[in-house]
A and B are shown apart, each in its own frame.
Chain A
Amino acid sequence: MHYVGFALQWLMKALAVVLAITVLNFLIVRLAPGDPAIVMAGEAGAADSQFLAQVRKDFGLDRPIYVQLATYVGKVLTLDLGRSYRTRRPVGDMLLERLPATLLLTGTAYIFALIVGALLGAIAAAKAHTFLDSVLTAVALVFYATPIFWVGLLLILVFSVQLGWLPPFGMHSLIPVKGTLWQMLDTLKHLVLPALTLGLFYVAVYVRLTRASMLDTASLEYVKTARAKGLPEWRVLTAHILRTALIPIITFAGMQAGNLVGGAIVVETVFAWPGIGRLAFDALFQRDYNILLGVFLISALMVVFFNMLTDLAVRVADPRVGSRT
């Protein structure tokens, strides 16, 4: 009973938040100068006022802003994200086409980063102030400081141009590969460099975060007490340190999960990865408002969802935590 109420309350709140975000995004996006009609005119190398008027009328851009807003919100509530101005295809279709590519990239990178980073961070914490720790921390710092696009370019230079081991761009080979298994392997081959580029940065983040968090927890009173009681080290580690240390990691991971959708624009650009980040980027410059708003909406939904998940996970990890900020 209690949980149903809680879930419903949460749902209402989430919907309200998402709606407010949609309205605000709608207005902000319109602030950019120009509109899709002008972009199309620019590309066509020709325009007359009839063309511009027609295009604007077709897109409903000639109606007052509050009418446009109401229409859009109404559509969104019925799960209709509208049509792309440019291709006239439903936004939902276009997003669904590109979303898997991004999720594959960011999902792989984040899971890789979380596991490897947390592991290395734990090792660094366990061996704190030794040579190994210094090396790990230094390497993490280097990858944290290096701009992602540069890492990507360097990886391409080394592994594609010089060594020729991996393809330099795209998600599929140009010459189509036959057979599902071969296709999967082909995609995997293309996934390595971009996922590594994105992942290396986040590995660094998780290494530092895990190390700091574990060291921090290890010096807490109740841990010292547990040690003093004579509990074996591994029990101290798992039963006491890990649970509390996990909290900031979970929190951060939750924050990043919300970033799954838009967080890879730079990598998608460097590697010509056909993802949704790049779709949003292009949509912005083509003033294809509906696509841009669609991406923002998905992102908002994911952030809200993962925030809730994170809150739950934190409560599970440490029931003593009330409503920490």
Chain B
Amino acid sequence: MRRILRRVMQNRGAVAGGVVLAVILVCAVAAPLIAPGDPMATRGRPLLPPGGQFPFGTDMLGRDVLAGIVHGARISLLIGVMSTFAAVLIGVTVGAIAGFFGGWVDEVLVRFTEFFQTIPSFVFAILLVAIMRPGLASIIIAIAVVTWPPIARLARSEFMSIRHREFVEAAVLSGVSQGRIIVTEVLPNAASPLIVVSSLMVATAILTESALSFLGLGDPNHISWGYMVGAARTVFRQAWWLSVFPGLAIALTVLAINLVGEGLNDALNPHLKGRIGA
């Protein structure tokens, strides 16, 4: 573990990303301290440019943009992490079963996975949000449902290749139950690429959530970065700060996560360097 951490620290990009991510996390956690009160309450005159009392300006309802950014971090990170967690849960389960058991189980699950990949993923996400009562939960579920297939495919190929390794065959021969084998032997070896992909997926989930909120499909009870950019569209010519700051926040967060993810990738799989692509 320490060895992995040391390798990550050697990667300058990962360190930079880690620092930025830490800052954002602190902002998210300390949001009520940095910007106390309800971020959606009117604080000043509408459409004030950045400066003075409002370092990032105010929006159409006179809300503090800085407060929105800091509180929005919570939502973006929460949705990013939760939806990735759910996607990984579903994906690994499906992929593991398919890869480990093979045969017709594999065939059925592969078809099942393929079905989800034929629907244009973003349209599907929108459809799911429309079907369920919109809110944080439905966005998380929608993103998870749309993003699990690649994880399943990765898990499947990993499990398929590992399954035939000698130590697994030995375990099977000595009568260890299949469940135990999966958990104690296969999973730890398949973990590295999965970890990397999951971390990158958090970034993608944040991007997806921001796109959904931008289109007006987010949860209006909580302020989020994508929502801020979307709400600012009607005045984006006059009030550039309403679009620029939230967008910057999204970009920085996703960038940071990617840098850290790549650092993890390089550290965990030096021989697989670059195998996990986009």
Q: Which residues of A contact B (CB under 8 A)?
A: 17, 20-21, 24-25, 28-29, 31-33, 141-142, 144-150, 153-154, 157, 161, 205, 208-209, 211-213, 215-216, 248, 252, 255, 258-259, 261-263, 265-266, 269, 277, 280-281, 284-285, 292, 295-296, 299-300, 303-304, 325
Contact = CB atoms under 8 A, between A and B. Distances in A.
Contacts of B164: none
7 contacts: A145-B251, A146-B254, A149-B214, A153-B229, A154-B247, A216-B274, A263-B122
Nearest to A263: B120
A42 to B, nearest CB: 15
B251 A147 contact: yes
Contacts of A148: 211
Contact of B119 (A161, A277, A299): A299
B210 interface: yes
B123 A281 contact: yes
Contacts of B207: 147
Binding site secondary structure of chain A? helix
B237 A161 contact: yes
B251 A252 contact: no
Given A145-B254, A149-B229, A213-B277, A17 B127 contact: no
Interface of B: 111, 114-115, 117-123, 126-127, 130-131, 153, 156-157, 160, 203, 207, 210-211, 214-215, 226, 229-230, 233, 236-237, 240, 243-244, 247, 250-252, 254-255, 258-259, 272-278
A249 to B, nearest CB: 9
A144 B207 CA distance: 10
A262 B252 CA distance: 27
A325 B156 contact: yes
Contact of A281 (B119, B126, B229): B126
A295 to B, nearest CB: 7
B258 A145 contact: yes
Contacts of B229: 147, 149-150, 153
Contacts of A205: 278
A209 B278 CA distance: 6
Given A216-B274, A259-B121, 19 more contacts: A17-B118, A28-B131, A32-B131, A144-B278, A147-B250, A150-B250, A153-B243, A208-B277, A209-B278, A212-B276, A216-B273, A252-B278, A265-B123, A265-B126, A280-B120, A281-B123, A292-B127, A296-B120, A300-B118
A290 B121 CA distance: 19
A288 to B, nearest CB: 13
Nearest to B200: A144
Contact of A266 (B153, B156, B214): B214
Contacts of B153: 325
Given A145-B254, A263-B120, A269-B215, A153 B273 contact: no
